[in-house]
Structure 1
Amino acid sequence: MSTESTADFSRAQVRHEELAAEITEHRRRYYVDDAPIVSDAEFDRLMHELIGIETSYPELVRADSPSQQVGTFSEAFAPVNHLERMLSLEDVFDEDEVRAWAERMAPHMKDSQYLCEVKIDGLAVDLVYTKGRLTSAATRGDGVTGEDVSSNVATIDSVPQRLTEHPDYPVPERLEVRGEVFIAVEDFAKLNEDQVAAGANPFANPRNAAAGSLRQKDPGVTAKRPLSFIAHGLGVRVGFEPDSQSHSYAALAAWGIPVSPYWQAVDTVDAVFDFIHRYGRLRHGLLHEIDGVVVKVDDIAVQNALGATARVPRWAVAYKYPPEEVNTRLLDIKVSIGRTGRATPYAVLEPVRVAGSEVEFATLHNADQVRAKGVLVGDLVVVRKAGDVIPEVVGPVAAVRTGEEREFRMPEKCPECGFDLAPASEGDVDLRCPNAKGCPGQLRERLSYLAGRSCFDIDGMGFVAATALVQPIESQERVLDNEAGVFSLELDELLPIQTLVRDPDTGLPKRKEDGEEKVVTYFATQKGEPKKTTLQMLENLEKAKSKDLWRVVNALSIRHVGPVSAQALADHFGDVDAIIAADEEELADIDGVGPTIARAVKEWFAVDWHRDIVERWREAGVRMREERSEADSQPQVLEGTTVVITGAIPGHTRDSAAAAVKARGGKVTSSVSKKTGVVVAGEAAGSKYDKAVKLEVPIVSGEGFAELLENGLPSPENSLRPCENA
């Protein structure tokens, strides 16, 4: 071995020892203390680095290496030896790795299918039934020996104490069932509320809550926790020999043992990816948290022939979705002011990458939520960002507190204008700035909103433009005192405006590396000429005047009024003046409005400067009446039908699809219920599709939308149904 090779090996050996020690400590915190201090994604990264070193230097692989072990267990519980070794799963993180695994399986598959199921983020347990009676329950532990949690598992309602007799599936002499103990998403939220109310620390996530609940020394405490169980495999079985994994699921269900509702047996790798992609879209609408999809060879004989390594079966693989939860430090909690004056606490975080983007801020909703989550400034916290959803702080990792953390207190004054913050009405949990007309923060947010896609859709008039119009540098007067003059802007008044660059998440000025605030002349070039975006903004302002009436109503930023209720008002009255003239009772009777929105509408139009906005927009040429010619010319094939639209519809935007339904007499709502007439499920349809399936609501595809518009509701045989067990 060369000198250079010897040095490389020495560095690898040192790093391997560091990683082994760190991973072992994290496993102890995860499996024994139920208080991990790193996210799953960070743990996976460490494990992959270790395995990469061992691949390059096989001589570093030892029996006690984390790569050769499944987990660990606590000595606080009696040890239980599993009848059959309880393995972990090989984790993969991209589709190429799934295809590589499938290629390794291909020579062995014969006529076998792939079985796909969601990967529950819970605590693995092993149940033993003897002559149909539950005689033992244990955690996975190190795969050979687990912790005896029989008394605690006996308190879980979904775990049967005796198997149900079934004519097609005789109860086995002995049966070892593997599965996951978890806490459902809705139950977790209620559990944390109760924890905080009782003065206890909230749980960081459902997995930790489930693990901590199952490992209580007092089963009475476990019994009070909302634990559930789902089976996903078998160990030893005497008197029952299934030929496939899917066959075993049918038997388990017949005996009264819960199995996942989210699984499917498929024939091809492409179908495997269809399953992975589908539940990637639906993951946030499921019963429980998931972090990926497990793909197995369905045929038991093939599973037996393939066998296992020291840690994982060769016949299964776990595809992990990109991490949506990470741990980072909560540096501070500040408050932002929204377009209706609502004061919203937000977290200032140590920057961290999650769900494909770097996150520095996360919402905390209101002061009550800060208390409910139990977070303190200085905490290590769990942060979640699901796709394009705004990042949020889930909760603290309370186990690593130092005592230097401090409690957040809601400010008494508006950070934008200095007015006293107060609830808008008695019983309102939110604090608001009452200075709606003069608060620059509120006006900035209202201008950004009215330029958005759900209102006038004015390209070129985003957050920075709104900031420039409302918050120029101190030496300049602002161009707009409120949104009344937005359609009367002139080029010459825009060009001189200079403003501080502000963060769109917080509204706070950004600073350069040297600490100085960033100042920009937003509407003009350095030569003082108008930018192309400025000219486009003025052109788009002119075009916006002819937008649909519901967009005008939505752009007024009336509290509680959003796109759905704005459309309901516009459809019913067809004229802003008619909305103003209507009494509260008439407004409340409109489907999609109700008493709260009706009261807010009347209160808004009762303010002089609000009505001035409407008049100034009218004078500038903004459309204030609805044109009904299209609706009048269409056959009313959907009259009285409630339609929910989800996913991408070919040839339509979401707004144009909704307009087409309304033009044919239908009503568009955002949620699925038993009263829903039909769900239109386009590409990337989300949890609304699953709910429609559950409620047996008719479903049409995006491609079938045109036929729905032409012929009305489909016959039952033409309604989409989900594939079996999907």
Structure 2
Amino acid sequence: MTEEKRIEQLRKQLEKYAIEYYINDAPSVSDQEYDRLMQELIALEEKHPELYDPNSPSQRIIGSVLKGFEKVVHAQRMLSLSNVFNKEEIEDFVARIQKQVPNPEFVVECKYDGLAMSLLYEHGRFVRAVTRGDGSVGEDVSNNVKMIQSIPLYIEEKGPVEVRGEVYMPKKSFELLNELQETLHLPLFANPRNAAAGTIRNLDSNIAKKRKLDAYWYYFQNAMDYGIKSQQESLEAMKQLGFRVNETYRVCKSAEEIWTFIQEMASKRSALPYEIDGMVIKLNDLAAQRSLGITAKAPRYATAYKFPAEEVTTRLLDITLSVGRTGRITPNAVLEPVRVAGTLVSAATLHNEDMIRQKDLRIGDIVVIHKAGDIIPEVVESLKDRREKELEEYKFPKHCPVCHSKLVRLEGEAEHFCINPDCPARIVESMIHFASREAMDIDSLGDKKIIQLHDWHYLNTLEDIYRLHQHKEELLERKGYSQKGVDKLLANIEESKKRPLANLLFGLGIRLVGKKAATILADHFLSMDNLMAASEEELSAIKFIGPITAQSIKAYFKEKENQELIDFLKREGLNMEQEERVQKESFFTAKKVVLTGKLAMPRNEAKAILESLGADLAGSVSKKTDLVIYGEDAGSKLAKARELEIPLMSEEQFLKEIEHDEKD
């Protein structure tokens, strides 16, 4: 046998063994034999570089680094699914199909919490893997997807084949990844979905190789070209071709059968080795699917049932207090760690004393928790029937946990406040806020560095940020502070003086003045002096400001120490004026707009552009929303917008629209 033939034989053998091991869980050779054959292949390929094949099994163990991802237009759009949330809505969906299709069958499959993906094969060879993107255009992430061992690089079918499915991170891989992150003192991933998405979009495929992703394939895009007539048949055909197909599905003939299977899977959900957030219901007959067609947003022949927020029980170990920059005291639940919706949860905010009292939470209680919106951990209730008799009612502390000053609860307020302006916690939080990206954007002066510099007594007030250069020589003697690092930090502080007045107003931390209010005030008054001289009546007359915020602004500027702070910042050369903006009419003028998902451009930049074009930005989707602009991996906000039939705009369409506005 020639060496060229042996290379071809080894590639086919190793691909077959990979399918046996990773898909069928029935290896026919030992790990040692597999490794021996792989080493033989690598040696022969090194000897014959002219026979290089990017799809060779050997390439799965050789990572590479890309400069970026190429955009790819999907031959047929990758659609999202409509959602149903209860049995009645499932019955309505089935009844609608039954009116148009005689005796329909439905295939009910798991809805994976991962990253939607399309694989394309030609002449039996893997060609590319493309993310869903905005449904029309995705990104070529082939280098990373090829690192997933269960994905075949060769298939027996020589004609074009496109399969679609979900790349995900198994729960075990996620746990190991976060253990490693913790060991390396790196931020933990919030959940397996975020970890999978971040891994696939990493430019270094060595990362994908190490993190052990996996995938399930559930849609044979061009199945009918091969005489396949049903979704059930297409799942079997994909399996025969070597794709990993989840056999946990059921063919159902009625809404009652569908609901029974969904309830069965809901009870097994926590024990599955992968995350699911619902079940997908598809019409089985492919010809009938085609005849029903699609809407502008989703196929008519399928829908997704979304599980209600997962609730679990755990023990409330303690209630601790944190102090914000305004002195607001926030009680926090310390929980016995428990996994909820894919994330290990050990803490949750309790908001205020009234919430604790209303829910009658006591330290030591067994409590029910879930994730509000599948994102924020929340304590739902305490289980009174499991309460130990000696547990005492929780009494809200009367003193600040940091400076021990007496706490104050203002009339009409639900929160307690530490009103000591010298409270170390307030000082640190106010400096963190001042230096943050949306305020003065002082790069390299992050939370941990501020806390460290405060502990060393270099930062005790906002003014001290602009005095830090006086301690340059002392900083250079500190461990971890190099000449280059200190020079960069001081240069960034100096650069922050040029930030717009709106950023400074937001950074000052005036109570009730958020980013939007700060921008409105800066645009209205155009200078700090004009704002400070404004009466309460003038302030409250401004749209979106109102009497309570006006009162807070006046109270802030009446304080002598705040006046002295402004004077100091003026002397330091901070920008105290705002350039007058001529707001032109545009497509976005007077529209209530929500941004969601990952945007290619910085989110702050997108917000600034929209505000300059007259848009009214909002953080959540409601019936009053006029437009939702979405990027990659958009989640619940996009789903709600579709549910409310609110107009949608992809980031690509947004960029074209603002380019059009600029030309006008």
Query: How would you bin the TM-score normalised by the shorter chain?
Result: 0.5 to 0.7
- Determine whether 1:560 maps to 2:539: no
Task: Quote how far apart the aligned CAs of 1:382 are.
Answer: 3.1
**Structure-1 separation of matches of 2:616 and 2:93:** 45
- Equivalent of 2:415 in 407, 430, 442: 430
Task: Quote how far apart the aligned CAs of 1:353 are.
Answer: 4.6
What is the 5 A alignment of 1:692-707?
Answer: 692-693=641-642, 696-707=645-656
What amino acid maps onto 1:336 in structure 2? S
What is the 5 A alignment of 1:494-643?
Answer: 495=474, 524-526=477-479, 530=482, 533-628=485-580, 631-632=581-582, 636-638=585-587, 640-643=589-592
**Structure-2 separation of matches of 1:306 and 1:693:** 29
> What TM-score do the two structures reach when normalised by structure 1?
0.50
Residues 535/404 of structure 1: CA separation in 2 closer, same or farther (3 Å cut): farther
- Determine whether 1:243 maps to 2:107: no
Residues 691/303 of structure 1: CA separation in 2 closer, same or farther (3 Å cut): closer
**Alpha-carbon displacement from aligned partner over 1:444-501 (angstroms, at most 9, x marks no partner):** 11111112122122233222222234344xxxxx3344213322212527847xxxxx
Checking the alignment, whether the CA contact within 8 Å between 1:650 and 1:703 is kept in structure 2 is no
Residues 556/389 of structure 1: CA separation in 2 closer, same or farther (3 Å cut): farther
What amino acid maps onto 1:599 in structure 2? Q
What is the 5 A alignment of 1:78-157?
Answer: 120=85
Checking the alignment, whether the CA contact within 8 Å between 2:597 and 2:635 is kept in structure 1 is no
> What TM-score do the two structures reach when normalised by structure 2?
0.54
Checking the alignment, whether the CA contact within 8 Å between 2:472 and 2:486 is kept in structure 1 is no
**Structure-2 separation of matches of 1:702 and 1:547:** 27
Residues 688/429 of structure 1: CA separation in 2 closer, same or farther (3 Å cut): same
What is the 5 A alignment of 1:157-172?
Answer: none
SS at match of 1:700: strand
**Structure-1 separation of matches of 2:533 and 2:234:** 78
Task: Quote how far apart the aligned CAs of 1:531 are.
Answer: 6.8
**Structure-1 separation of matches of 2:378 and 2:164:** 34
Task: Quote how far apart the aligned CAs of 1:576 are.
Answer: 1.7
Structure 2, unaligned stretches of length 5 or more?
A: 1-24, 27-77, 109-160, 169-192, 195-215, 221-227, 237-247, 253-260, 266-274, 279-308
SS at match of 2:91: strand
SS at match of 2:652: coil
**Structure-2 separation of matches of 1:240 and 1:644:** 37
Residues 270/301 of structure 1: CA separation in 2 closer, same or farther (3 Å cut): closer
SS at match of 1:490: helix
**Alpha-carbon displacement from aligned partner over 1:130-166 (angstroms, at most 9, x marks no partner):** xxxxxxxxxxxxxxxxxxxxxxxxxxxxxxxxxxxxx
- Equivalent of 1:320 in 276, 281, 284: 276
1:457: which partner in 2? Answer: 441
**Alpha-carbon displacement from aligned partner over 1:588-630 (angstroms, at most 9, x marks no partner):** 23233222222111111111111222221221121111234xx
- Equivalent of 1:492 in 446, 450, 471: 471
**Length, aligned pairs only:** 429
What amino acid maps onto 1:344 in structure 2? T
Residues 313/675 of structure 1: CA separation in 2 closer, same or farther (3 Å cut): closer
Task: Quote how far apart the aligned CAs of 1:239 are.
Answer: 13
**Structure-2 separation of matches of 1:378 and 1:447:** 35
**Alpha-carbon displacement from aligned partner over 1:628-665 (angstroms, at most 9, x marks no partner):** 4xx44x85424742241413575522221122223334
2:316: which partner in 1? Answer: 330
Task: Quote how far apart the aligned CAs of 1:418 are.
Answer: 1.4
Residues 245/623 of structure 1: CA separation in 2 closer, same or farther (3 Å cut): farther
Checking the alignment, whether the CA contact within 8 Å between 1:245 and 1:300 is kept in structure 2 is no
Task: Quote how far apart the aligned CAs of 1:668 are.
Answer: 3.2
Checking the alignment, whether the CA contact within 8 Å between 2:107 and 2:251 is kept in structure 1 is no
Residues 540/324 of structure 1: CA separation in 2 closer, same or farther (3 Å cut): farther
**Structure-2 separation of matches of 1:233 and 1:675:** 27
- Equivalent of 1:482 in 452, 461, 464: 461
RMSD, aligned CA: 4.9
1:85: which partner in 2? Answer: none
- Equivalent of 1:678 in 613, 627, 650: 627
1:375: which partner in 2? Answer: 361
Residues 390/677 of structure 1: CA separation in 2 closer, same or farther (3 Å cut): closer
Residues 660/462 of structure 1: CA separation in 2 closer, same or farther (3 Å cut): same
- Determine whether 1:413 maps to 2:386: no
Residues 351/578 of structure 1: CA separation in 2 closer, same or farther (3 Å cut): same
**Structure-1 separation of matches of 2:526 and 2:423:** 32
What is the 5 A alignment of 1:269-308?
Answer: 270=164
- Determine whether 1:448 maps to 2:432: yes
**Structure-1 separation of matches of 2:572 and 2:99:** 83
1:708: which partner in 2? Answer: 657
SS at match of 2:394: coil
SS at match of 1:613: helix
Residues 411/270 of structure 1: CA separation in 2 closer, same or farther (3 Å cut): same
What amino acid maps onto 1:567 in structure 2? T
SS at match of 2:498: coil
**Alpha-carbon displacement from aligned partner over 1:339-370 (angstroms, at most 9, x marks no partner):** 11111111122234555654433211111111
- Equivalent of 1:660 in 605, 609, 612: 609
What is the 5 A alignment of 1:4-403?
Answer: 120=85, 179=87, 231=91, 242-244=102-104, 270=164, 313=250, 320-321=276-277, 326-354=312-340, 358-385=344-371, 389=375, 391-403=377-389
**Alpha-carbon displacement from aligned partner over 1:16-52 (angstroms, at most 9, x marks no partner):** xxxxxxxxxxxxxxxxxxxxxxxxxxxxxxxxxxxxx
Task: Quote how far apart the aligned CAs of 1:666 are.
Answer: 3.8
**Structure-2 separation of matches of 1:688 and 1:305:** 32
**Structure-2 separation of matches of 1:383 and 1:567:** 38
**Structure-2 separation of matches of 1:270 and 1:231:** 27
**Structure-2 separation of matches of 1:564 and 1:269:** 45
**Alpha-carbon displacement from aligned partner over 1:244-296 (angstroms, at most 9, x marks no partner):** 25799xxxxxxxxxxxxxxxxxx98637889xxxxx89xxxxxxxxxxx9x89
**Alpha-carbon displacement from aligned partner over 1:179-233 (angstroms, at most 9, x marks no partner):** 37xxxxxxxxxxxxxxxxxxxxxxxxxxxxxxxxxxxxxxxxxxxxxxxx75389
SS at match of 2:250: coil
Residues 384/533 of structure 1: CA separation in 2 closer, same or farther (3 Å cut): farther
Task: Quote how far apart the aligned CAs of 1:707 are.
Answer: 2.9
What amino acid maps onto 1:405 in structure 2? L
What amino acid maps onto 2:276 in structure 1? K
**Structure-1 separation of matches of 2:80 and 2:515:** 42
Checking the alignment, whether the CA contact within 8 Å between 1:324 and 1:385 is kept in structure 2 is yes
**Structure-1 separation of matches of 2:653 and 2:101:** 45
Residues 414/655 of structure 1: CA separation in 2 closer, same or farther (3 Å cut): same
**Structure-2 separation of matches of 1:530 and 1:391:** 40
Task: Quote how far apart the aligned CAs of 1:549 are.
Answer: 1.9
Checking the alignment, whether the CA contact within 8 Å between 1:243 and 1:301 is kept in structure 2 is no
**Alpha-carbon displacement from aligned partner over 1:301-350 (angstroms, at most 9, x marks no partner):** 9879999xxx9736788671499654332111121111111111111222
**Structure-1 separation of matches of 2:81 and 2:485:** 49
**Alpha-carbon displacement from aligned partner over 1:30-81 (angstroms, at most 9, x marks no partner):** xxxxxxxxxxxxxxxxxxxxxxxxx99xxxxxxxxxxxxxxxxxxxxxxxxx
The answer to which of 456-465 and 317-326 deviates more is: 317-326
1:289: which partner in 2? Answer: none
**Structure-2 separation of matches of 1:117 and 1:336:** 41
**Structure-2 separation of matches of 1:695 and 1:240:** 25
Task: Quote how far apart the aligned CAs of 1:582 are.
Answer: 1.6
Task: Quote how far apart the aligned CAs of 1:372 are.
Answer: 2.5
What amino acid maps onto 2:503 in structure 1? R
Residues 541/357 of structure 1: CA separation in 2 closer, same or farther (3 Å cut): farther
**Structure-2 separation of matches of 1:389 and 1:116:** 21
